[in-house]
Amino acid sequence: MPYIWRGINHPESIRADRMFSHLRTGLLLAAMTGLFLAVGFLLGGQTGMLIALVVAIGMNGFAYWNSDKLVLRMYQAREVDERTAPTLVPLVRTLSRQAGLPMPRVYVVEMAQPNAFATGRNPANAAVAVTSGLLRLLSQEEVAGVLAHELAHIRNRDTLTMTVTATLAGAISMLANFALFFGGNRNNPLGIIGTIALMILAPLGAMLVQMAISRGREYEADRVGGEICGRPEWLASALTRLEQGARNIENPIAERNPASANLFIVHPLSGRGADNLFATHPSTTNRVARLREMAMRLRPSGNPWA
């Protein structure tokens, strides 16, 4: 039997790390929501803050119910089944069973850049998507590692967290861009200099919080994904090849919609100078090192793919 993650058998230290990770994510989401409300207050006083609160609730509610449809439509994803994807779909089914998850919908995005993402508000309404470039580049074992990572996001409810984060980050940037229109409001205590500073600093702050949330969730999904497939080295190998491919091949849709970058398994944007500082993903070198260390600790009793 392959190694299968069982939360109740985890050492206390691993459970504590997982609890800390979820607490940290909750605090960062609260910080981003607070930043959104603060921008509304600075632009329009209490009225502006109330408007920002209503907008935040409305946007998050909309994202909760429609995020998967919006993302899949944005990337022109095509749903596949065992007839149209006879290798991919059974692989997802096997890994979903090992992860204790219902079978998600499976999509292929016709895109040269090798990448993948998961979406959906909960495990019962989840979807995983891989690009055609990923299927051409990776071996079956490496694809299994990638799919296990995406299923880990679904089980950890990261798909909803990252969608809400992207929605709030986009809303903060939008609100900051409206700053000049509201700059003359008598309730605005900032003045023209403060308004200009707000236009620059608010999106920057949102980007930093989004980055922190995304990086923490990626590390956790790597760990759980390695446990789901039982071979962390498969995911480590896949990440190395995916990063190289993503660096050399553009993702035009993500370039036009950078707030969606945190959904992917590797950073999809081609920008160079700010990548290390502002990328939504942790260093691939660090991720691979953790996975290889994890592989040394695991001693699975069998290979389900042999």
Per-residue pLDDT of the chain (306 residues; tens, 9 = 90+): 333 333 333 444 445 545 655 566 666 667 777 777 777 777 667 777 777 778 777 777 777 787 788 889 999 999 999 999 999 999 999 999 999 999 999 999 999 999 999 998 889 999 999 999 999 999 999 999 999 999 999 998 887 777 677 667 777 777 766 665 655 454 555 556 666 666 677 777 777 776 767 777 899 999 999 999 999 999 999 999 999 999 999 999 998 887 788 889 999 987 543 445 556 688 899 999 999 999 988 765 445 544
> What pTM was computed for the model?
0.76
Per-residue tokens: 83 = 């007839």
Q: Which amino acid is at 200?
A: I
Residue 152, exposed/middle/buried by CB under 10 A (0-12, 13-18, 19+)? Answer: buried
What is the largest distance, in Å, between two alpha-carbon atoms of the chain?
Answer: 70
Across the strands, what pairs with 118?
A: 128
CB-side neighbour CA atoms (13 Å) of 167: 24
- Cα–Cα distance, 220 to 191 (Å, whole number): 43
Please report the pLDDT score of residue 192 as a whole number.
63
- Cα–Cα distance, 72 to 218 (Å, whole number): 20
Q: Which amino acid is at 265?
A: I
- Cα–Cα distance, 180 to 159 (Å, whole number): 34
Please report the pLDDT score of residue 272 as a whole number.
45
| Contact of 211 with 280, CB cutoff 8 Å | yes
Helix axes 191-229, 12-74, angle to 10 degrees: 110
Q: Which amino acid is at 31?
A: A
149 known ligand binder: yes
- Cα–Cα distance, 123 to 222 (Å, whole number): 18
153 known ligand binder: yes
Residue 124, exposed/middle/buried by CB under 10 A (0-12, 13-18, 19+)? Answer: exposed
22 known ligand binder: no
Please report the pLDDT score of residue 177 as a whole number.
67
Catalytic residue positions? Answer: 150
Question: Hey, which bits of the chain come out as E strands?
Answer: 78-79, 105-109, 116-119, 127-131
